[in-house]
Structure 1
């Protein structure tokens, strides 16, 4: 039975590396779900053990924040703000700085994947309509979304998981993570300006109409008030973050304007299924003694993941191999206490800019660009992503060494 569990575990994480099951239309979420089903059906883990392994507070917090983000998307907030920024008469380098600052700020409180999903299609069309080369601005969107999301414990799924699992202080993490993230955003601007300094414009093309929801001032104001109250409560209230997020979601679902099914349609259900499935797969592996075996062999090779430097580097590398959420789920069982929480969050998130498949935000932006005829190849992304990743990781690593 132990061999069976380990075999399924290896197959699941291999599919994380390959982006799914080769030859089948099964993505990472589908592969993880199949792995959990195989373990339950083959009695590699009992139903009760599987239920106990699921971190309900993490899922509740993630779901609540998705509903809050959906309020802004349905209210046309993203389109309204982006049009005001992009259509304003300013130099391309200045506009690039504005896009980076806006993306970084929104991603810190509304999750990076949602921001990219809402902004990327409209940003592509606005740039083309203004005869600007959309590629540097889309690359800025992806990189800034990843870096900005690292600034808070609610900016991306892996930070939510780390914060809930290790019971990190929202305020303390914010103080630690904000400086390297701000420097990282400045680095994104500098790298893109250097790479695209003579490639800001494109030939005139056919205008593309906007497909964004109309701006609803009242619904946007409602979402803004709820979000601000939620963040203030995260910072100062003693109540569990997941309950606060669920309460915020409940208030927003009480609407005379948006059908609840419209809001629910914007929730990333596959991501929630991925979390549940990986909780089960990792628990089965740990119960089978696989994690103890893995740690003993890692230590025998001279790599101690209990030390900051090996953990920081290992997290960055693993995040690019299997994606950041699976990487964090793999590493959390070997992390003791909350002292390594900021290290895990910053390393896994900042590493996502290295290659296109390093983060879901990158994939969303590239796919949105492709749908309007803009090609962003691995090489194109790497010209910006690699120096941004190495530079931001170096900044974060140096900052963590100074403050911890």
Structure 2
């Protein structure tokens, strides 16, 4: 029990969200019966399943094997960083941004056992990469799914409207990666014993991963989570105890806080004025709102007053950069890094990336309108 409760007791971000929710509850009209509906339980179930599956693969020891091979394959920090950044962006286009992080961040963390690589910086760039890569397709992230469902373009049409921004941001990020990582040779650890890994746990985790994705696609997220939990309860009970379950509480608290925020009378009045804003105002509003409440809730709010246009799609995806709350993927990546210093260092790269993406996106939008 102590092992399960420890993350909740030491999670300062969770405590902050709870205090914020209590403060908002003093001013927002609501009933307690509305709070459960404010949470996107499908997202919570998906996140819970991914937490278990990733921890299963990590506990199997196979990430250590892959980490050793990566260190041996790449000669310089820059080449390895470019590979991981590109891989994160590519995986996020069809596996979604959070799934890409659940695959790559644990793998990246194992690299510290075999080399002296700047692991925290690698995780930061992987978080930036999934924000850039996932914007390209309708299934890359939750906000794109919402925009695609509310829009009038097909799968290929959606990719076409996002391609100019996605291509430019990915090229910019790869250039930033090349500048931010040294070309010096990777210093490999001389004391890295051969890792013993559990083949049965790895195979079970991979098979469950595929079944879980199928369950999500068919709308049976709850049954998928029960299947994963049941198998791990039989095969790897200690693995379940090692999972950071407080992350689920953080997401639940964020959903509740956003719901309470939207119930504020002053905000309700402001939302009704959105359609009268000029295009530049809508662009800045979508980006700014994403910085405060994250880009998925911002998309939900804005779609009630704005069409699912290219401007809105670009703005909320650009809003994933910048401050930590801009994208839930940022939170997932930095929590998995388990390094307190990474929270502040993340903004050293993400804030300039936000400013660049804002300027680049607006110039591209003006160019498209001119054509």
> Normalising by structure 1, what TM-score?
0.64
- Does residue 229 of structure 1 match 2:214? yes
The corresponding residue for 1:144 is 129
In the superposition, relative to structure 1, how do residues 133 and 33 fare at CA in structure 2: closer, same or farther (>3 Å)? Answer: closer
The corresponding residue for 1:67 is 48
Q: Is the 8 A contact 2:68 2:111 kept in 1?
A: no
Q: Is the 8 A contact 1:112 1:155 kept in 2?
A: yes
**Alpha-carbon distance, 1:264 to partner:** 9.0
In the superposition, relative to structure 1, how do residues 369 and 46 fare at CA in structure 2: closer, same or farther (>3 Å)? Answer: closer
1:4-403 matched pairs, under 5 angstroms = 29-35=17-23, 37-38=25-26, 44-47=29-32, 50=34, 54=37, 59-76=40-57, 79=63, 83=67, 86-92=70-76, 93-108=78-93, 112-113=97-98, 116=101, 119-120=104-105, 123-124=108-109, 126=111, 129-134=114-119, 136-152=121-137, 155-156=140-141, 158-159=143-144, 162=146, 166=150, 171=155, 175-176=159-160, 179=163, 180-181=165-166, 183-196=168-181, 198=182, 200=184, 216-227=201-212, 229=214, 233=217, 243-255=219-231, 256-259=234-237, 265=245, 268-282=248-262, 284-285=263-264, 288=265, 290-296=267-273, 303-304=277-278, 307=279, 309-336=280-307, 339-340=308-309, 343-355=311-323, 358-362=326-330, 365=333, 371=339, 377=345, 380-381=348-349, 385-386=353-354, 389-390=357-358, 393=361, 397=365
**Alpha-carbon distance, 1:90 to partner:** 2.3
CA distance in 2, matches of 1:402, 1:244: 46
In the superposition, relative to structure 1, how do residues 76 and 290 fare at CA in structure 2: closer, same or farther (>3 Å)? Answer: closer
Q: Is the 8 A contact 1:230 1:248 kept in 2?
A: yes
Q: Is the 8 A contact 1:366 1:375 kept in 2?
A: yes
Q: Which runs of 5+ in 1 are unaligned?
A: 1-23, 234-238
State how many pairs are aligned: 350
CA distance in 2, matches of 1:385, 1:87: 28
Q: Which runs of 5+ in 2 are unaligned?
A: 1-11
CA distance in 1, matches of 2:363, 2:197: 39
> Normalising by structure 2, what TM-score?
0.69
**Alpha-carbon distance, 1:311 to partner:** 2.6
